[in-house]
Chain A
Amino acid sequence: MKKRLFSVVYMFVLTLVFTSIVSAVKVFNEEKIRTNQRVKLERIILKVLDIPVKEKTSDEALGRIYARRVKGVEVRDKPLYVGYAEDGRTIVGYAFPIGGSGFWGPIYGMVAVDPEAATILGIAFYRHSETPGLGARITEDWFTRQFQGLPLHPIEGDKKIFYLKPEGTGKARDELDAVTGATGTSRAVEAFVNRELDHFLRDLWGSVKKG
């Protein structure tokens, strides 16, 4: 009986000691982890809004640029980031998060449109589980740069906003290069980005324009 009681007390004390240590480490680092996540998001928003930031810009400097040039608002419970020009008043574009299922798992990204929602300013994919070297190449510059300046229109019938075609075969402005060797990922991206853009133009743009 005494032995059993000892086991319980022993485990209790051990758990108490170790969870205290872990909690202390967690509390100590929490601030830093949250900053990392915020900086990452800010960097992506600035990038898609085409507000130039150097690769080497420190986190603090980035935070200052972000505070001056971007304002986060909510439109129908969804986040929308309004980008401003250097003067801090003229709107240069709107950025909003997009997401959908990829080939292996969900893909999250951010896209920005110009102040009239007539063309795309920039797009970035920042969380995904696509195959490294193949599907994961959707995060590379050559892929995302193709979207800049792409004309936008709500989807009518089966006329999509853009199509991903085998590399080098695209002729029209809305035919972009797919990722060679990653047909699954390319198809998935074509489907969900078209859907999300259409959703924005149809359901949210009205509210955005009103302010």
Chain B
Amino acid sequence: MPKPPTNAQIFMQGLWSDNPVLRQVLGICSTLAVTNLLINTLVMDAGLIFTVTMSSLTVSLLRKYTPMRIRMMAQTLIIASYVIIVDISIKAHLPDISEALGPYVGLIITNCIVMGRCEAFARNNPPWPSFLDGLAMSIGYSLVLLTIAVIREPLGFGTMFGFRVMPGGFTPWTVMIMAPGAFFTLGILVWILRAYFPQTAGEKKS
């Protein structure tokens, strides 16, 4: 049996070597949808970090009691509950952002990262490493989203967090506001990253 990874290793995997968006290409739908404004991205990130971390922790705590056959059902229930809590909280305290994010908060339920971490890690590991794994993976996701948003908002709206950063005569690139803009940005990011930091044998230059 391989040695279980240390906490530091778990953390680095989520942030970098196993980064959900860049390496595993998970959670792309929300990546494309919410990254045209930094503030929306930030709220989405917070929602996802809460959901992934809490779901991983809960699944791990219950791992010894949950019957194998119904574990998916239990996971879905746990994830959905946390997502609804996030959705209600945003609606109550950040109504404007709630409207801008639209259905995407509710769709965290279907974000592959959440269930992916529950299945791949939390159900076989103790609570503390699971908590860390969830935290690292969701922060890894958040950092990528923020990177994309930092590129998209200035080019698409000429602003950063709503403050004008581009010179007066700048014509906003409408394509950056729409989903294709995110698609190009993400594609280029993954390309650069994989070219400079090859990971699997196939990616290494021969």
Report the count of interface residues on A (CB-CB < 8 A): 26
Q: Which A17-59 residues have C-beta < 8 A from chain B?
A: 18-19, 21-22, 25-26, 29, 32-33, 36-37, 40
- Is A7's CB under 8 angstroms from B89's CB? no
Main secondary structure of the interface of A (DSSP, over half): helix
- Is B95's CB under 8 angstroms from A36's CB? yes
Bound CA–CA A177/B36 (angstroms): 27
Minimum distance in angstroms from A172 CB to a CB of chain B: 30
The answer to the question of B67 belonging to the interface, with a C-beta cut-off of 8 Å to chain A, is yes
Bound CA–CA A26/B172 (angstroms): 40
Across the two chains, which residue of chain A brings its CB closest to B173?
Answer: A133
Bound CA–CA A57/B70 (angstroms): 52
- Is A25's CB under 8 angstroms from B174's CB? no
Q: Which of B22-30, B80-88, B196-204 contacts A (4 or more CB under 8 A)?
A: B80-88
* Chain B interface category by residue count: 20 to 34
Q: Which B62-81 residues have C-beta < 8 A from chain A?
A: 62, 65-67, 69-70, 73-74, 77-78, 81
Across the two chains, which residue of chain A brings its CB closest to B157?
Answer: A133
- Which residues does chain A contribute within 8 Å of B178, judged by CB atoms? 131-132
Q: Which B98-124 residues have C-beta < 8 A from chain A?
A: 99, 102
The answer to the question of A75 belonging to the interface, with a C-beta cut-off of 8 Å to chain B, is no
Q: Which of A8-16, A88-96, A117-125, A183-191 contacts B (4 or more CB under 8 A)?
A: A8-16
- Is B88's CB under 8 angstroms from A11's CB? no
The answer to the question of A67 belonging to the interface, with a C-beta cut-off of 8 Å to chain B, is no
The answer to the question of A76 belonging to the interface, with a C-beta cut-off of 8 Å to chain B, is no
The answer to the question of A142 belonging to the interface, with a C-beta cut-off of 8 Å to chain B, is no
The answer to the question of B177 belonging to the interface, with a C-beta cut-off of 8 Å to chain A, is yes
Chain A to chain B contacts (Cβ below 8 Å), 21 pairs? A10-B66, A11-B74, A18-B77, A18-B81, A21-B85, A22-B81, A22-B84, A25-B84, A29-B88, A29-B91, A33-B95, A36-B91, A36-B92, A36-B95, A37-B95, A129-B102, A131-B174, A132-B156, A133-B156, A133-B177, A181-B174
